Every structure is written in C-alpha cells, then in structure tokens.
Amino acid sequence: MLASICNLLVMNMFFTLSKRNKTARLMALALVLIMGFALLQTPTQAVSQSELNKLKQQQAQLAEEKSGIQSQLDALSSQVASQTEKLELLTEQLEITNSEIDILSEQIALYTDNIARMENELTVNRQKKQVLLKNYRAYIRTMEENGSYTYLEILLGASSLEDLLSRIDTIREIMTYYDGLVNDIKEAQERIESAKADMEAEMAAQEEVFAAYQEKQADLTSQQEAVLTVLTSLAADSSEYETQLQSVNTLQASLSGQISDVETQLAELDRIRAEQEAANQAGSSDTGYGGNSDWYGDSAGTGTGTGQDIVDYAMTFLGVPYVYGGTSPSGFDCSGLVYYCYKHYGYTVNRTAAGLAYSGTAVSSSELAPGDVILFTSQGGSYIGHTGIYIGDGQFIHAPHTGDVVKISSLSSDYYTTNYWGARRIAS
C-alpha cells in the first residue's frame, strides 16, 4: 500500500511538472524510479507483476520523453545549421565590404595628396607671378633712378625715324618678354586649377561611395552580431537538451536494470512456487520446503534448539559440497543448509534466501548472536540471493556457490560487507 501511495504521489508530481519544466520533469521521474524500486527492495511484500507493469509503463513514458527531447535537439540542430550558413554569408560580404573600404581609403588618400601637391604648385605660381611683377617694377624704377628716361622720353628723344623705330622695337621686346612670362604663369595657374577641380570632384564622388560602404559595413556587422546572439542562445538550449538526454539515457539504463532484476525475482518466485507445489503434491518432507506453500511470512514455528545448538550442528557439515537446491548432508545450497539445520531442531523456516528474510525477527548488525540468519543481496543489490548462519566473532558458516563447500567466512571481507542486507533471529 505504501509503495502504491508514494508512487502515485510522485507520478502526479511528474505529470504536473511536465507542463512546466523538462529538467524538473526528469528529476521527478528519477525520484519515481528511485522511490519505487527502493520500496520494492523492502521485505514487507513480494514483488508482483503489477510492480513490473508500473516499471514498464515508466519505461514507455521515459522513451516518449526521450523522443521529445531528441526532436527538440534535431530542430535546434537545423536552426544552428541555418544560422551558421547565414553567418558565413554575412562574414563573406563583410570581408568584401572591408576590402572595398580599404581600396577607397587608399584612393581618397591619393586624391588628397595630389590636391595638396596642386595647391602647392598654385602657391608657387602665384609667388612667381608676384616676383615677376615686382622685378618688372623694380627695373622701371632703376631706370628712372639712374637718370634713364621713361618710355615716353625714349620715344621723344629719338634723333631720327630710324632711331625711333629702333627704340619702339626695343620697348616692344621688353614688354613682350614680361607679358610672355605673365601669360605662361597664368596658363599654368589655370591648368592646375582645372586639374585640381576635377580631382576634387572625383574625390567627392569617392567619398560618397566610401560613406555608403561604411553604412553597409555597420549594417553587416549588426546583422552578424544578431546572428551570433541567436547562435549563442541556440547553443545554450542545445546544451540543456543534451544534458536532459544524458539524464534520460542514465534513467533508461537504471530502469532497464530494475526491470531485469524484477523479472529475475518473479522468475525465481515462479520456480520456488512450482517446487513448493511439487513438494506438497508428493507429500515429502525431504524437499526442504516442509509442505510450506506460502514461503513469505513468519513461518519459524517453535523449535527446541538454541542459536548455539544451530551453530554446533551446522559446523558438523563443514566440507560438504555445494549443490544447487540441495537440502541434505550429501549437498547443500546456501538456504538449504540453513533450512536443514533449523528443521533438525524443530523449526519450520522458509526454504529460500529471499523467504528467510521474512522469518523470525530483525536483528541489527551490532546485536548479532550465534544462530542468527544473515542475508546478502546479489545481482547488483537487486534482491536477496545468499544466506548463512552467524557463529560469532564476525564470522558465519555457509554454502557459497557451485564448486565450493560449506565453510566459514568473515563478514569483514569486502564482498560480504558490500552486499550485507540484514539478519533475522529465529532461535534464541
């Protein structure tokens, strides 16, 4: 009844949490398996087919849960692949954009250098023009300061027509020379200014393209960061689902082991019951079951021997070979030895190790006395599979296994310490 109530409560919690949080759901399911099977291990009631069915139902629920988690992982994987492809495309576009920006930067820098050079040439030409005009004015002043005549005086002072024409040619040559120099400078100035204007226009166009590429760069970078954020979130979700999947796999392995153990116990119960029925039908007391068809429950009865009597009698069988199912001095299995020794003194006890867990009264390990029946688990702790008789000083007598003989062993050995289940007192 307690197992059913606890299982019901925990399963109710499982289905409530299943609508809210997957991780919490797995924890609840683990609690179901742990509590449920722990209750199966207590010797208050035998395992039953209904308990096995519950475990298999939980197994089916766990498989469904695993399928759902795997579907989520598959969906996340598809999203990751899509976002990764998008990120690769954005990265490629960004690399091209960055390359174009670098080229444009170099071109703008070249334009800037050329414009600066032209500005310098214009400045030099302006200076040349100023120097030329300054020199021309200085030449005229020098002529006047040295007593020379002005152009008008030169013309009026001609002694003849031939002299006048000669003087006019001279003046014209001087003016032509200076005019030529000024025109050369002016033409160079105009040429440089035109080239500069063209170059400034080209640079302005390049700067517009440069600005457009910068906007594209910022947009691509923003998109790239958004995709990276999505990928980070997807990675976190995937990690969570991977953890859940690992938990499910662990639970499945545990549950499969529990189901196997319960099936083994049920098979053993069926075998024992079949042997008991055969023994009852034959009416034989040598079968080792004493006609006891119900191997669970306190069936010790009233005997005449003490615990020490049981020990002394059991010691007479040291060296008897182990025989599976044996209940006579020609061969014993573990429970057969216990059964035979107690039957000798009039006690009716259960024939199997599992059944002996229900005989007599429980005794703590610190209160063990000679004659107490000690019990051990087997199959990975899934059920009681071995028994013996405590003789004192931390030792017990038992029939270990096929190929061995009845002998004395120590409770302090690693195997028996690890697998110790408990003890029952049948004889005082």
Q: In which residue are the tokens 């120097």 written?
A: 131
Whether residue 293 is found in the same domain as residue 420: yes
For 54, the domain range is 2-82+242-273
Specify the pLDDT at position 351: 87
Specify the pLDDT at position 409: 94
Does 319 reside within a domain? yes
Q: Is 401 a catalytic residue?
A: no
Whether residue 17 is found in the same domain as residue 39: yes
Which of 6, 341, 344, 398 is flagged as catalytic? Answer: 398
Residue 301, domain CATH: 3.90.1720.10
Does 113 reside within a domain? yes
The residue type of 378 is S
Burial group, residue 339, by CB count within 10 angstroms (0-12, 13-18, 19+): buried
Whether residue 336 is found in the same domain as residue 414: yes
Specify the pLDDT at position 370: 96
Does 95 reside within a domain? no
End-to-end Cα, the chain, rounded Å: 32
- Token duo for residue 371: 């004659």
Does 96 reside within a domain? no
Whether residue 324 is found in the same domain as residue 413: yes
Whether residue 290 is found in the same domain as residue 414: yes
Residues 6+ apart with CB under 8 A from 200: 111, 115
Does 403 reside within a domain? yes
Specify the pLDDT at position 218: 92
384/181: higher pLDDT: 384
Work out the pLDDT band at 309, boundaries 50, 70, 90.
very high
The CA-based dihedral angle spanning residues 334, 336, 341, 345, taken in that order and rounded to the nearest 10 degrees: 140
Which of 6, 334, 344, 401 is flagged as catalytic? Answer: 334
Split into its structural domains, the chain has a count of: 3
Whether residue 175 is found in the same domain as residue 132: yes
Whether residue 391 is found in the same domain as residue 367: yes
- Token duo for residue 37: 């099977």
Whether residue 421 is found in the same domain as residue 289: yes
Task: Report phi then psi at 388, rounded to 5.
Answer: -165, -175
Note whether 292 and 351 are within 8 A (CB).
Answer: yes
Q: In sequence order, which ranges of 292-362 are alpha helices (DSSP H)?
A: 307-315, 334-344, 353-356
User: What percentage of the chain reaches a pLDDT higher than 90?
Assistant: 38
Specify the pLDDT at position 131: 74
Is residue 147's pLDDT more than 90? no
Whether residue 121 is found in the same domain as residue 212: yes
Specify the pLDDT at position 274: 67
Which of 6, 341, 344, 386 is flagged as catalytic? Answer: 386
Number of neighbouring beta carbons within 10 Å of residue 194: 11
Does 421 reside within a domain? yes
What is the pLDDT averaged over residues 33-50? Answer: 49
Cα 278 to Cα 256, 298, 329, distances in angstroms: 33, 22, 22
Q: In which residue are the tokens 């035979």 written?
A: 340
CA pair distance 334, 351, nearest whole angstrom:
10
Work out the pLDDT band at 235, boundaries 50, 70, 90.
very high
Residues 6+ apart with CB under 8 A from 136: 178
User: What does the pLDDT look like over 406-420, one tens digit per residue?
Assistant: 999 999 988 899 889
Q: What is the mean pLDDT of the chain?
A: 78
Q: In sequence order, which ranges of 18-48 are alpha helices (DSSP H)?
A: 22-40
Residues 6+ apart with CB under 8 A from 363: 369, 372, 422, 423, 424, 425
Does 280 reside within a domain? no
Whether residue 161 is found in the same domain as residue 251: no
Whether residue 46 is found in the same domain as residue 139: no
Whether residue 120 is found in the same domain as residue 215: yes
Does 200 reside within a domain? yes
User: What does the pLDDT look like over 276-286, one tens digit per residue?
Assistant: 555 555 433 33
